[in-house]
Chain A
Amino acid sequence: QKEVEQNSGPLSVPEGAIASLNCTYSDRVSQSFFWYRQYSGKSPELIMSIYSNGDKEDGRFTAQLNKASQYVSLLIRDSQPSDSATYLCAVLSGGGADGLTFGKGTHLIIQP
């Protein structure tokens, strides 16, 4: 069974600091990795996608992937109170129009 593990938190980070979110996955053949942000009662919003080992940067966000360790992370620089949300790690193991397997999410709180 495919599993995606995240620390549920809450993770509390001061405003302006770097928030670091981590995710591990069990299926070694997983190909694609995504980070979604979800505010309470709202839909998941895609923040980053990453497919190959290394870092991928987009604005204040950096995704990191290490397939050998089956590990994905998301760094949020200059954290803002509006970044307070649940961050979902999602993994796609198959090809085609396969469904995502989500972790249970990390609740991030940015303290003003």
Chain B
Amino acid sequence: AAGVIQSPRHLIKEKRETATLKCYPIPRHDTVYWYQQGPGQDPQFLISFYEKMQSDKGSIPDRFSAQQFSDYHSELNMSSLELGDSALYFCASSSGATAYNEQFFGPGTRLTVL
């Protein structure tokens, strides 16, 4: 079965640079979520989109922004990168937007900020 696709899988940036992470949800899934997982930490919710509209917002820094496009893929834009932004970034997708929707995670993008 098709899964969530994330690109790139690995990204190395310098401090103060900008990064763009992409997420392609499972076919026919219309809801996308972004999570950040630091070393030894649990995943922290950043932001979600349902039908191309922002739905919920978690601990996303003001330096980060995201959007969902007409084909339901999503991009997370990260500016003025800091060393502390080094983490695994996961995208998850679900079908619909109810409390009973299961979220399926992509393989993640490992971001390293030097």
Chain A residues in the interface with B (C-beta under 8 A)? 31-32, 34, 36, 41-46, 49, 51, 88, 92, 94-105
Q: Are A99 and B56 in contact (CB under 8 A)?
A: yes
| Shortest Cβ gap from A25 to chain B (Å) | 13
Complex contacts, A46 vs chain B, CB 8 Å: 102-105
Q: Are B105 and A45 in contact (CB under 8 A)?
A: yes
Contact A96-B50, Cβ < 8 Å, known A43-B106, A46-B102, A88-B42:
yes
A103-B42 Cα distance, complex, nearest whole Å: 7
Q: Are B56 and A98 in contact (CB under 8 A)?
A: yes
A105-B105 Cα distance, complex, nearest whole Å: 16
Within B91-114, the residues touching A (CB, 8 Å) are 94, 97-108
Complex contacts, B41 vs chain A, CB 8 Å: 104
Interface hub of B46, B50, B101, B108 (most chain A Cβ within 10 A):
B101
A37-B101 Cα distance, complex, nearest whole Å: 18
Please classify the interface of chain B as helix (H, G, I), strand (E, B), loop, or mixed, using the class held by over half of its residues. strand
| Shortest Cβ gap from A77 to chain B (Å) | 22
A33-B9 Cα distance, complex, nearest whole Å: 29
Complex contacts, A94 vs chain B, CB 8 Å: 56, 99
Q: Are B90 and A32 in contact (CB under 8 A)?
A: no
**Cross-interface CB contact of B55 among A32, A34, A41, A97, cutoff 8 Å:** A97
| Shortest Cβ gap from B87 to chain A (Å) | 12
Q: Are A43 and B107 in contact (CB under 8 A)?
A: yes
Known: A42-B107, A43-B88, A99-B46. 17 other contacts (CB 8 A): A31-B99, A34-B102, A34-B103, A41-B88, A43-B108, A45-B105, A88-B43, A95-B98, A96-B50, A96-B55, A96-B98, A96-B99, A97-B55, A97-B101, A98-B55, A100-B35, A102-B44
